Each structure stands twice: as C-alpha cells, then as structure tokens.
Amino acid sequence: MGQITLQQVTKNFGDVQVIPPLDLTIEDGEFTVFVGPSGCGKSTLLRLIAGLEDITSGTILIDGADATAISPAKRGLAMVFQSYALYPHMSVRKNIAFPMRMAGVDKAEQDRRIEQAATALNLTDYLDRRPGQLSGGQRQRVAIGRAIVREPAAFLFDEPLSNLDAALRVGMRLEISELHKRLKTTMIYVTHDQVEAMTMADKIVVLRAGNIEQVGSPLDLYRAPRNVFVAGFIGSPKMNLIEGPEAAKHDAHTIGVRPEHIDVVETDGQWQGRVGVAEHLGSDTFFHVHDTGLAEMLTVRVAGEVNLRHGDTIHLNPRADQIHRFDDKGLRIQ
C-alpha cells in the first residue's frame, strides 16, 4: 500500500514561501513524476513527503494515516538520491543490508533479500566491493537495491539519473520503469527532464514556483496543456507559441502549434519563411524557420528526409485541428 495525500501543504524558508498551499493525491501503485524547471520546488516537495524537511503548515497522509509529525525513518518510504548517497565505508552488501539492519530484520531474511535484489539488479559479482570501486551506473543500482529491500510503501527518486551519461541514462530509465511494472509499488520521481517524465510516468505533476500547473497523464498534458507554461514545457522540441494578428485570427491571445503538427508543402503554404539551421537526423528533419512574421523562430519537425537547406524558402501549413488556443492570462481556451 502506498497512497500519499498532501492537504494544503506549505513550506517557507525564512520569509520566502517556496510552496504555496498545495493539494495532491498520489494513488497506490502509481508512477508519479514531478517535473519543472530548476528552482520550481519539485525537490523540496519530495523532501517534504520524505520528512527530510518539515512542512510549515498542512497535512501529509500516507495510506490515510497522518504522517506529518512522523520522522523520515518511520514513514516507510525509501529514497534514491541524485548523488546515490551510498555509505562509502561499507561494502555493497552492507549498504543494501543497512535499512534491514536498522529495522531488525533477521539475518537469514536479510541474506535472502540481498540475494534477490542483487540478482535483479545485476550486482551479484559486486557485493563485496566498496561503492568507490563501482561505476556510476552500478552505484545507482546499489542505491536502488538499498531502497528495494526495505519493501517500502513508496519509492522516492530525486533526479536519480542526472549524474549518468546519456546512454546509461536511457538504460536506467528502462530499468526503473520495469522495476515499477514488476513491484507495482508507488513511485514518486523528480526530474527536470521532460523526456524522462513523458516516458516513465503514469501521472505527471508540472510545477512552477511551487505551484502545480497541471496534473495528468503524459498524453493528457501533450494533447491538452492547461496553460502556456505547460504547453512550452512538455514536448520536445518545444511547442511554437505565436502571438499577435495570427493568434487573433483564431480568437486567441496566443496560439501554440507543436513542431510535428506543421506540414511542409511545396508552394502556397499558409505560412512561409527562410530555413535557418536544418538538422537532418535521417528519421526526422528539424527546421528552424526565420522571417515568418509570426514569431522570432518556428521549429518544424518533418518525418524522414526533406531536401531543404540553409537559406531556402519554406512553405508551411499548420494542422488546423492541432492548434492550441490560449487567452491573455495564458490559460487554455476550450
């Protein structure tokens, strides 16, 4: 079990309110990702749930029970830190055993769970090494192993992949997703990387300056961003946002079109401009289009190869049913 509910939770650091009153429910077994630009309060929120920071006001419920005043040790949550935070003076085996030792799990059971976790995480050959002798990816696995053996109510991940190189990051992303499918335990995952959020989450919580901007499934957020901020933050490359007369044509203050929802045509496009940088990836081609008179630059994504070069004139047609409209407060117009 691992349902986590935040009710009117706030956090002040001195006179600065970093989390204004916030309500959120994370369902049992859900993979929830907190995503937002740096300084948006996502890590603070995670630390409040963990109990590593005290909340200023409000209530945190874990499985319906008030956990606000309970110490982190007693909340039954496991955390994986960005720096891995392994105990450098202990072997891998002892690192993984530590939470069980603290909980007074008997030795035979400890060994059984260590064995199981080590097999699942490919750590069997490294159990007697110290963390200092492991690579970044292995350290990350040890940190996850240490979290798993506790059999926690929920896992908390604080930007766990940001210290890994790109290739390893993709691999670990899959491993964590698979782990979630297997364990079906609640996971809360903090990241600033919207690709991680989109690929892993059941539910994404987009945060800005401590406020929840939108909560929803990855595709909800992609298809119907609630405001301009979410529209610009979710999706890669970023959504094109256009203001002025072109937006007024759609009775909106701002319109947004994703790069993949603009078609390149030979002639007589609704919009036209000049190709700046063209990124030919083979599978896709990205065009950075200037001098459209709409915005400083539009990004266009086309499947396959399109033979346009720097300086060429490009004709574009946005797909009418894929235009997002926002009012002057930045909110979505239905």
Partner 1 sequence: MARNVTNQRKLINTVLAWGIGLLIFFPILWTILTSFKSEATAIADPPVFLFFDWTLDNYRVVQERSDYMRFLWNSVIIAGGSTLLGIIVAVPAAWSMAFVPSARTKDILLWMLSTKMLPAVGVLYPIYLIFIKMGLLDSRVGLTVVLMLINLPIIIWMLYTYFREIPGEILEAARMDGASLKEEILYVLTPMAVPGIASTVLLNIILAWNEAFWTLNLTAAKAAPLTAFIASYSSPEGLFYAKLSAASTMAIAPILILGWFSQKQLVRGLTFGAVK
Q: What number of CA atoms fall less than 13 Å from residue 245's CA on the CB side?
A: 3
Q: Which of 4, 6, 67, 78 binds partner 1 (CB under 8 A)?
A: 78
Q: How many CB atoms lie within 10 A of CB 148?
A: 22
Token output for 261:
């929802």
Asked whether position 50 contacts partner 1 by CB under 8 A, the answer is yes
Q: Select the span of 36-44, 95-103, 249-257, 315-323 touching partner 1 (CB under 8 A).
A: 95-103
Our CB check for partner 1 shows the closer of 145 and 218 to be 145
Choose the binding region for partner 1 from 20-28, 75-83, 215-223, 298-306 (rule: CB under 8 A). 75-83
CB 51 within 8 A of CB 6: no
| Ordered alpha helix ranges (H), 36-75 | 42-50
Nearer to partner 1, 52 or 323 (CB): 52
Q: How far is the CB of 105 from partner 1 (least distance, A)?
A: 10
Binding segment (CB under 8 A) for partner 1, from list 19-27, 73-81, 257-265, 294-302 = 73-81
Q: Pattern of binders to partner 1 over 140-159, x per CB under 8 A?
A: ------x---x-----x---
The sign of the CA dihedral 298, 302, 305, 308 is negative
Beta-carbon contacts of 101 under 8 Å, excluding residues fewer than 6 positions away, are: 110
With binding defined as CB under 8 A, does residue 88 bind partner 1? Answer: yes
Pairing of strands 186-191, 154-158: parallel
Nearest partner of 161 among 139, 179, 182, 181, judged by Cα: 139
Q: Which residues bind partner 1 (CB under 8 A)?
A: 50, 52, 71-74, 77-79, 81-83, 85-89, 98-99, 102-103, 146, 150, 156
